[in-house]
Structure 1
Amino acid sequence: MSNVDDNTMKQPTGPTAPPVADVENQTNPATTSTGFGVPAIVRRWKREDLIKRGSLALRGLALLFSLLAFIIMASNKHGDWKNFDRYEEFRYVLAIAILSTLYTAVQALRHVHELSTGKHLIQQRTSAMVDFFGDQIMAYLLISAASSAVPMTNRMREGADNIFTDALAAAISMAFLAFLSLGLSAMISGYKLSTQSYI
């Protein structure tokens, strides 16, 4: 058995051909995979464009949900104890929905202007900080308002489930969805803030 193994090991190996050089493709594969050059710049532009459009879409959703929470809560007046303004929890939801609607409308308009004209109304660094902190503050206010109104709505629904309590639940749900949209937008704003160059 060892003779067979010895014969295969003793076979001479012929000369190996040198690697064939690609005459048409003169790029070094090591330099193309390091992230430098035109392909890396194009990838970065596409990523930045996707982030801008995603941020605008999330702000648009937050605007829609905030506006719906505002409209549903403000129109929830059915007489006697079925008026939202008799309860401070629901007035708080209305106030925060109004603030969120105004904030997201201004931010969405600013982003539309920047995407359509390519010009920034304020410096990019300041804009990133305003986006991040504004989104954080509004998201926390929205979840605070929604969570303060949930216990009162649940107590009312135990006694009587009617159009008043259904409208309250709908407004609270819209405030919660606005919170989710602004929370995701705050994550994108934080990413943009952390990847900015400070030169």
Structure 2
Amino acid sequence: MQQVEEQANIPRPPGRDVEGGGAGAMTPEGKERKVAAPGDSMKKWVFICRSCALVAAFLSFILMVFVSDFTQAEGFSYLFSMAVLTTVYMAVQVGFKGHELRTKKDVISPKVSVWIDYSGDQFLAYMLFSSASVGATTCNFIRSAGLEGPGFGVAAASVSMSFFAFFCLAFTSIFSAYRLFTVLSNS
């Protein structure tokens, strides 16, 4: 009990009015440590989710290319077009966000970027889920009709990759919605 009271009476070093240091806190060795900004970890997670969505959408449309006559089924054509659109959007977003994380400078104004991220993520998440659902329905119809061919497994894998891309994009859209409403509430 006496040790606890003694620790409470130890004066803090001058200039440090926050326990644990704060930005630029000194370590016991006398070196200054960098403390990450509150939004940096969220930006990294968004970047990781966007990168996963990019890879999954890319694999989805590449796998669909290997399905012979995928244009004959409207569901597969829709899945392919949404996978291509998502791949292009995610490639641009990963490029911009990766540059921003690396250089700590915004490529696009933050007020405009928030709206682009929110609307693009929401729109593409819906379209990707819709196309993956149609692709799954088309796969189910082909299987129930007994029309399975050599490319059926590849088409099913493409549908699975689209669903995975949707889930990654859904997490990203949650983060972009949080960021948008935070910016709006601070304005």
Q: TM-score, normalised by structure 2?
A: 0.80
Query: 1:22, CA displacement in angstroms?
Result: 2.4
Counterparts of 1:123 and 1:161 in 2: how far apart (Å)? 50
1:180 aligns with 2:167: yes
SS, match of residue 67 in structure 2: coil
- Write the letter of the residue equivalent to 2:135: A
How many residue pairs match? The answer is: 168
Deviation digits for residues 54-93 of structure 1, max 9, x if unmatched?
Answer: 000000000000000010001211xxxxx21111111111
CA apart distance, 1:161: 4.1
Amino acid paired to 2:176:
S
1:112 aligns with 2:98: yes
Q: Determine which structure has more spread, i.e. the larger CA radius of gyration.
A: 1
- Partner Cα distance (2:10, 2:74) in 1: 77
Q: Which deviations, in whole Å up to 9, do the C-alpha atoms of 1:166-193 show, x marking residues without a partner?
A: 1111111111110000000001111122
Gaps of 5+ in 2: 24-33
Distance 1:67 1:89 in 2: 18
Q: 2: distance between equivalents of 1:117 and 1:32?
A: 29
114-123 or 135-144, larger mean C-alpha shift: 114-123
User: 2:36 matched to 1:50?
Assistant: no
Q: CA deviation at 1:26?
A: 7.8
Classify the secondary structure of the residue corresponding to 1:25: coil
Asked whether the equivalents of residues 125 and 166 of structure 2 are also in contact (C-alpha less than 8 Å), the reply is: yes
For 2:165, the aligned partner's letter is: A
* Percent sequence identity over aligned pairs: 33
Matches within 5 A, 1:94-173: 94-158=80-144, 159-173=146-160
Give distance in 1, aligned partners of 2:75 and 2:147. 18
User: Does residue 22 of structure 1 match 2:13?
Assistant: no
Residue identity opposite 1:99 in structure 2: L
Q: Which of these residues, 63, 66, 70, is aligned with residue 57 of structure 2? A: 66
Distance in 1 between the 2:108 and 2:12 partners?
45
Deviations 1:23-44 (A, max 9, x none): 52389xxx858xxx936xx877
**Deviation of 1:162 (Å):** 4.1
- Tell me the alpha carbon deviations over residues 80-119 of structure 1, each in whole angstroms, 9 at most, x when there is no partner: xxx2111111111110000000000000000011011111
Q: Which amino acid aligns with 1:38?
A: G
Moved over 4 A (4+): none
Q: CA RMSD in A?
A: 2.5
Kept in 1: contact 2:66–2:151 (CA 8 A): no
- Structure 1 unaligned blocks of 5 or more: 1-18, 78-82
Task: State the match for 1:7 in structure 2.
Answer: none
